[in-house]
Structure 1
Amino acid sequence: MSKVVAVIGASNNRQKFGNRAVRAYTREGYTVIPINPHEDVIEGLRAYASVLDVPGPIDMASFYVPPEIGERVIEEVAQKQIPEVWFNPGAESDALVARARHLKLRPVV
């Protein structure tokens, strides 16, 4: 069974890293869950407004949103019990990483 990754900030714009990540994770065999409150489908995959809307467990979340958005989303990630969180360049902040650790998540920067 493949690892399930939620791409926070997934996009239909193929120039954005949130879209490139969806394609790259899919190519590598992951089960990809795009997260974007403004899209229904991204790269042919059903998109969800929040990780809390996704049925079943998620193994990791990969962030492609600014830290100020990430600070709100990290609470939902903790509620969903997603153990591993990747903060990609531009998505990280010291406060966000500290909050992830406080919530007992495993941040990767």
Structure 2
Amino acid sequence: MATTTTAAATLLTKRIRFLSAPKFAVVGASNDSKKFGFKDLKWLLDHKKDVVPINLKPGKIQGIECYQSLSQLPDPKHTAVVIVVPPKSTLDVLKQAKSLGMFAYWLQPGSEDSDVVKYIQSDADLDAQSLYDDPLHKVAPEVTTQAAEGSTSSKLHILTGPTCSGIVMQGSAALDAAAEQTKKVAASTTSKIASAATTVAEKLSTAAEKVSAAVEEATSPLSPAPAVNNVVAGVKRPRPSPSPEPQPAKSVKLAPDNTA
């Protein structure tokens, strides 16, 4: 799954980079509406791309004057080339385009064979800039949509240059800012937690002191009862007389009985 995802991302990167070129050339451009050379050129024209048709036959294709060779291009290093020729001609076109240091290469289905693919894959830089899967006019609409969505959500920036990988996330500054914001939030949260913990500790300490005082009061000796107040409603009453102490009983001495 990871390999498939990576391959798809790489393919999308290549496609977006290709379509980001300042200029385009279609080798094998045609006036025949059934051919890829017509459809690819038309799509580029419809999307206001700066594109020229290249065909060995002089004249105009879709109203634009043709070049007969890539060597006639005024700015090949900033021109992406669409190749729509038979496989036997593709390798020569590709070698010429590479020698000119062209921006990127998109071989349309049917224009490549095993020799062409081997040639591309033998050169890492060329392979990184080459496409040979689906026709441009079919996948380009989806690619432009994905690029627009990615540019909005992820701030994609497409670098233009022969050795550039294509899409670079302008994320370092954004990520740094996000990290800094995260640190601030974390510090603020930590401070709030510490403050709350201190408040709770103080309340617990106060409660403990109150409990300790209550326990101490409950376990202390009872105080003597206060003296009885003999004044009621401003009238002093006589204190009650103390109860008389009991007297010891007197013994009775009996006289002897002399009647016996």
Q: Which runs of 5+ in 2 are unaligned?
A: 1-20, 133-260
State the distance in 1 between where 2:124 and 2:50 align.
25
More helix by share: 2
2:102 maps to which residue? 82
Q: Contact 2:26 / 2:81 at 8 angstroms: preserved in 1?
A: yes
Alignment of 1:33 onto 2:52: yes
**Number of corresponding residues:** 109
State the distance in 2 between where 1:103 and 1:85 align.
14
Q: Contact 1:70 / 1:91 at 8 angstroms: preserved in 2?
A: yes
Alignment of 1:92 onto 2:112: yes
Amino acid in structure 1 at the alignment position of 2:50: T
Over the aligned positions, Cα root-mean-square deviation in angstroms equals 2.1
Secondary structure, counterpart of 2:93 in structure 1: helix
Out of 65, 72, 75, the residue aligned to residue 46 of structure 1 is 65
Tell me the CA shift for residue 103 of structure 1: 8.3
Which moved further from structure 2: 18-27 or 97-106?
A: 97-106
Secondary structure, counterpart of 1:91 in structure 2: coil
- Percent of pairs identical after alignment? 27
State the distance in 2 between where 1:103 and 1:14 align.
35
1:108 maps to which residue? 131
Call closer, same or farther: CA 1:37–1:9 in 2, change over 3 Å: same
Q: TM-score w.r.t. structure 1 length? A: 0.86
Q: Rg: which structure is higher?
A: 2
State the distance in 2 between where 1:85 and 1:4 align.
12
Q: Deviations over 1:30-70 (max 9, x none)?
A: 11111101132111112111111111234311111111110
State the distance in 1 between where 2:124 and 2:95 align.
8
Q: Contact 1:97 / 1:107 at 8 angstroms: preserved in 2?
A: no
> Which runs of 4 or more aligned residues in structure 1 lie more than 3 Å from their structure 2 counterparts after TM superposition?
none
Out of 3, 8, 11, the residue aligned to residue 30 of structure 2 is 11
State the distance in 1 between where 2:120 and 2:71 align.
17
Tell me the CA shift for residue 97 of structure 1: 2.7
State the distance in 1 between where 2:120 and 2:72 align.
20
Higher RCO, 1 or 2 (CA under 8 Å, sep at least 6)?
Answer: 1
State the distance in 2 between where 1:74 and 1:103 align.
15
Q: Contact 2:24 / 2:80 at 8 angstroms: preserved in 1?
A: yes
Q: Contact 1:10 / 1:19 at 8 angstroms: preserved in 2?
A: yes
State the distance in 1 between where 2:56 and 2:85 align.
12
